[in-house]
Amino acid sequence: MGGESTTRTAPRGGGVNTGPAGGRTGQRLSGLAVALGLVLFLGGFVWAAVVYRPYTVPTRSMAPTIDAGDRVLAQRVDGAEVRRGDVVVFEDATWSNAPMVKRVVAVGGDTVSCCQDGKLTVNGKQIDEPYLPEGSAAEAGPFPTVTVPKGRLFLLGDERGSSLDSTAHLTEAAQGTVASGAVEARVDAVVWPMDGMLQRPSGFEELGALSSPGPLRTMVAMVAAGTVLIFGGAAYGPLAGRAAASRARSRTESAGVR
């Protein structure tokens, strides 16, 4: 007994913390972030699978826009939605037994011919085509004026010298045109190599409205945001645990100094 003093100092944290690292609110928010991230991540992929189709282009007929072996994403569209300047995937038994990729230069009711000053002429207007190989003319040789029937399309490859396109079928009954219903999809982007979205065919703007870009950028943003939320939410627990352990060590060291 001898008058000894036995004063004890309790830890400031009120004892050992056996609760989840970061507290309940932090855990709930991290769980919510992971759940939302999964919705965005999976939703972006599912949406893309519904809207887009992948294709591998086997030839250089669309170079330099799309080269041989390039992998593209093409948005599923109705043929009636196709506009001048669109790069489309279509299948016509009189051309080939496999899907082909070409650029629409004229739609039903248009007149198209070549060449004036080395340029394509649609409805009497010369078309600027910056997507053609540098220094090349709109065609290797002239072709007579074609009036495109309603519901049909006139298509050319960007590599005009080697493309088997509407100009190779001018002597047929349809004068090289293809039914708009033969279109399966409209190419939105080259994804391998990662060249990105196709450039807007501004040379056709004077003739009418161009097609709007597809929702691919929105889908990519959804997947990216979902990835950040998933990893951020999953990392919260370990990071909060390390922070709590670091604070506990600091308190213990401070108490030991006393």
* Catalytic positions, written as ranges: 61, 102
Q: How much helix, strand and coil, in percent to the nearest 5, is found in the chain?
A: 35, 25, 45
**Two tokens, residue 1:** 């007994």
Among the listed residues 67, 69, 55, 62, the one whose alpha carbon sits nearest the alpha carbon of residue 98 = 55
Looking at the DSSP bridge assignments, the partners of residue 52 are 75
Q: Are 52 and 215 contacting, i.e. CB atoms less than 8 angstroms apart?
A: no
Q: Do the beta carbons of residue 115 and residue 156 sit within 8 Å? A: no
Q: Are 244 and 26 in contact (CB under 8 A)?
A: no
Q: Specify burial of residue 101 (Cβ count, 10 A radius: 0-12, 13-18, 19+).
A: buried
